[in-house]
Each structure stands twice: as C-alpha cells, then as structure tokens.
Copies of this chain bind each other. A is one copy, B any other.
Amino acid sequence: MALLVQKFGGTSVGSIERIEAVAERVIKARQLGHQVVVVVSAMAGETNRLLGLAKQIDAVPTQRELDVLLSTGEQVTIALLAMALNQKGYLATSLTGDQLGIRTDAVFNNATITVVETEVVTELLERDHIVVVAGFQGRDSRNNITTLGRGGSDTTAVAIAGALAADECQIFTDVDGVYTTDPRLVSEAARLSTIHFDDMTAMARHGAKVLQLQSVEYAERHQVPLRVLSSFDEGEGTLVDFSTVPSEGAAGVAVKGQQALYRVAQPLEKVEPQLGLLGFDAWCYGDSQQATYIVAADDELARLNVIFEKTELAQPSVATLTLVGEGVEGNSAKVAALLTEKGVGVYQQKSAARCVSLLINGQDLQLAVEHIHKKFVVEPESLDNRPLLAVS
C-alpha cells in the first residue's frame, strides 16, 4: 500500500464525462490498496469564463477579489469529483485549500505556499476516504483567499505530497510522459521511463512544457518523486527522481520557439538585474558597444518597453535549443559545429551544469533539433563525455 497524490488538470476534468473518467482512474488506484489524495484544477474554460466576467467590470480587477472569484473554479470541480466517487460507492470528501490548511504568503494572484497542514487530510485517509483537494488556492495569514501562480495545481499537489511524505506525486496530463524532445517537431522523440530531477529542471527551464519549473524545483527540494502520466491512456509514464540515469547519451533536447531577439542600449550589468526584478527569466548577453541583447517570446516588446524606454527588435524570429544531460557541458563547440555544418544560423552558445544552449535562427529550429537529437540522444556515441575539460 502506497500513499499517492494524483493531480488532474483542467482538460482532464473539462466535462462531466471527463470527471467520471478521472473518478474511475482514482478508483483503480484505490482498488490496488493505495491511499489517494486527488488534486484538481478548474474545469477547462471555467477560469476564462470567470475572468471574462471580471473584465466586464474592470480591465484590471482588484487582485484580492480576483482570487475570491477564480478560486470558485476548483471548488466546483472538487464537489463534482467527490460526488462522482460517492456515486460509484467510494468514500470521498472534498476539501478547499483552506479546509485542508494550505497557508500562503499574501501575494494575490501569485501566492507561494508556506505551510501545508496535515491533520485534516490524514484523519480522512485513516478513515479510508479518498480526499479531493482544490488546487491553485490557499489562505494567507489574515484568512484572505489567495491563488498560486502558474502551474498552481501542480504546486499544490507537490506540496501536499511533500507534507504527507507521499510515495509518489502523479501528474496526469495530456501526454503520456516526458519525451526526449518535442514530439511535434521530431518523430524520433521517445518517452523517457525515468529522468533525473536535475535534467527535468533543465528541460523545464529551457522550454519543455510537460511540467512547470516551479513544481519540479519544489518536488526536488522536498524529495517528492514525481510521475508524469496520461489522463487518457494507460502506461507507466515517466518517473522523475534522483536515480542515476544511464550514462550514455544526453537526456534530451529542450526547445523554445517563437522567440525574438531584442536590443537595449544599456550594458548587460544594468539590464540583468532589472529583468530579474520583474521575474523575466531571459537569456541575455552584451556586445562590445555596451548594448544588451535579450531573448524573449516574440510578443514581449510592449512589456520590455515598460522596463527599458527604448527596446529595439534586433531579430524577429529566433529559437533556443538546449541539450540536457549529465556531462553535456563539454560539447558546446561540437554542437555548434554540427549545426553550422547543416547550414543552421547559430548566433550564440552557452554552457551550464547539465546544459548546452544555442541561440539559432528561428526558421532553422526543426532541422536543428532533429539533427542534434539524432546525434546526441538517438546515437549517443557522439557525446564527448568529458565535462569541464573540453568546455570551449
């Protein structure tokens, strides 16, 4: 018997039929003898419907009240899922963030969990209940309703798993696991059966969307094994933990498309801290004329102009490609050379622990990722596995 925390996102609970299917999925785990805590998001579309109501009243609605409004979305889902479980003959009880005891700081719309109380949920689990919890929400120390930032329900699930020392936190999503690269770009992309936390963090930071960076980092810090599974199909998914990964080859290639290169006429050491203050996790580098180049999504010009009076669009279409895995740091020159050989426009390259990143021409993204994926993941003999010595 294991203690599992299972998280289902908005698409997985997007209709009554889907909620019934989630109930069956949860029951399957229960029938195997596991204790289950289920964390759910608002039904797909519901958050946007609520936001639409708020925007009719105020283009920039009061942040506190927006959280009061949006938190109803998950509350609807927990009630319906608990009803479905009850109707199928299983004990189940829903808990809002505050009923479970999820305490956060007071940053409305982007709160951080500070404490997860375990008394109520533990007592329900001991009485054989399936516990259905509203993701994405909590209460601050003054009892105001708060909502978490992006990927909020994942974070709720991981935080509960950490507090309960659960055996696994299972994130159900619309793909069946973590892939070596984006399968929409590369047909040879393959599902990983396991991936190391450090590699998963790097993949998420550099563009893999299957898990939110914050939740992976939180899980790593609290040593909560994560498993990514499909809501719709059977399968083992991908386990994210601390096990040593096979040493041949890189773990994967993360990509970020639809990026642009922006130029600000200020030196790097002035630009970087300003970006950081606003939570911009952007690749940037300086040139010899004391200007700074920033890589960011191709619709961010307006937002950058709020920070820097005059931002220029230096290149409208660029992309980043990041080779991730133990010992890849030594391969940046090799990766760049392989791409240049293929005619890919390479503008910049950088290395960090378990990462080699390249800034390339946006039009060349598919060609580039196919090639690097083949050379370092599918045919891992290419990897020059001597970290640090060969850094170029």
Residues of chain A whose beta carbon lies under 8 Å from any beta carbon of chain B = 16, 19-20, 50, 53-54, 56-58, 61-62, 64-66, 68-69, 71-72, 75-76, 78-80, 82-84, 86-87, 93-94, 96, 98-99, 120, 143, 145
Contact = CB atoms under 8 A, between A and B. Distances in A.
Contacts of A96: 68, 145
Q: Which of A80, A93, A96, A145 has most B Cβ within 10 Å?
A: A80
A53 B80 contact: yes
Given A58-B84, A58-B87, A72-B79, 11 more contacts: A53-B80, A54-B79, A54-B83, A57-B83, A57-B84, A62-B82, A62-B86, A65-B79, A69-B79, A71-B75, A72-B75
Contacts of A58: 83-84, 86-87
Nearest to A82: B65
Q: Which of A69, A78, A93, A99 has most B Cβ within 10 Å?
A: A69
A94 B80 contact: no
Nearest to A54: B83
A337 to B, nearest CB: 57
A38 to B, nearest CB: 14
Contact of A61 (B50, B78, B83, B145): B83
Given A65-B79, A68-B75, A56 B87 contact: no
A352 to B, nearest CB: 43
Given A57-B20, A84-B57, A143-B99, A50 B62 contact: no
Nearest to A75: B72
A65 B94 contact: yes
Contacts of A79: 54, 65-66, 68-69, 72
Contact of A62 (B54, B64, B83, B143): B83
